Amino acid sequence: MQTRYTGKLPGIDGCIDTYLDAWEIFQNKEFNVEDLRYKSIQRGDDPNNIPSESALNSRLYRLAAYGLVAWYGEGEYQIACRPDESAEDWQSELTERLEIIYDEVESKREQREREVRDEEDEIELIEYNGEKYVSAFVGDNSDVQGQAGFYLSILDEEEDHTGIVLRSYPRWVVEVEELAEQICDDDVMSETVCPYRFEQVKSELPTVDGNKEFRVFLRETRFLP
């Protein structure tokens, strides 16, 4: 859905003052905040009305984000959109800037989506007594049907793993223990899509990254093709 911007840009008044000062003093030349402040004083501006170098840099940095000023790093700037140009000239300059921003946003969004997919595809294995268990985080709302579908999608009879380890916050110990009992009940699992059957090996409450975590290790007992 397309929306029309009707608000006011934050801090725009002070930014425009600095933009016009920079144009009047430097025109198309590159400049830095130190020179801008010095030459503003030199031309007779009231020192009390001239922002500090830090404030000037903040304003110019924001103007660079708007697209009116080019930023070269290390406090170096140059007017990008001249105040004596037409609106069409500005639109051309800002459209190019928007295309750059759009490409950056798209690239970052795609990167995040890839990272999410990679996290979803990644299988974490936890070792217990020399055996490897596939990690499955569960909570108070987890159920057998959901777990069965998850196991079907991640477990591979050819892979080197012993079973599943249910992991949760300690406050859900009772719920997770009940879930583990259901997963180890062949009659219950026969009503699901999961071809694996399990038995409980061990439950523990280790400290992980400074926090307690409840774990229940479930070993695969057989696979029903």
How deeply is 138 buried, as exposed, middle or buried, from its count of CB atoms within 10 A (0-12, 13-18, 19+)?
Answer: buried
**Please, which pLDDT band fits residue 98 given cuts at 50, 70 and 90?**
confident
Q: Which CATH class name applies to 12-102?
A: mainly alpha
Which pLDDT value is given to residue 91? 87
3-state SS, residue 166: strand
CA distance 60 to 150: 52
Residue 86 corresponds to which amino acid?
Answer: S
129-150 tens-digit pLDDT: 999 999 998 988 889 998 988 8
Partners of 128 in the β-ladder: 131
Q: How many helices (H) and strands (E) does the chain have?
A: 7, 10
Note the Cα 174 to chain centre separation in Å. 34
Backbone angles phi, psi at 70, to 5 degrees: -90, 135
Kindly list the distances between the CA atom of residue 138 and the CA atoms of 112, 147, 169, 191, 207, in Å, as whole numbers in the listed order. 24, 9, 9, 20, 17
Q: What is the mean pLDDT of residues 13-20?
A: 91
* pTM of the entire predicted model: 0.47
CATH 1.10.10.10 maps onto the chain at 12-102
Q: Of residues 105 and 186, which shows the higher confidence score? A: 186
**Please, which pLDDT band fits residue 13 given cuts at 50, 70 and 90?**
confident
Q: What is the mean pLDDT of residues 44-62?
A: 87
196-222 tens-digit pLDDT: 899 999 999 999 888 899 999 999 987
Q: What is the mean pLDDT of residues 76-96?
A: 88
CA distance 160 to 143: 26
Which pLDDT value is given to residue 181? 96
∠ CA 116-119-121 to the nearest 5 degrees?
Answer: 110
**Please, which pLDDT band fits residue 1 given cuts at 50, 70 and 90?**
very low
Tell whether the model's pLDDT for residue 158 goes beyond 70: no
Whether 188 contacts 122, CB under 8 Å: no
Of 5-9, 95-99, 189-193, where does the model show the most confidence? 189-193
CA distance 41 to 33: 12
**Please, which pLDDT band fits residue 188 given cuts at 50, 70 and 90?**
very high
Give the number of C-alpha atoms closer than 13 A to the C-alpha of residue 141, restricted to the C-beta side.
Answer: 0
CATH 3.30.110 maps onto the chain at 125-223
How much of the chain exceeds pLDDT 70, in percent?
A: 89
**What is the dotted CATH code of the domain comprising 125-223?**
3.30.110
Q: Of 135, 186, 133, 128, whose CA–CA distance to 162 is shortest?
A: 133
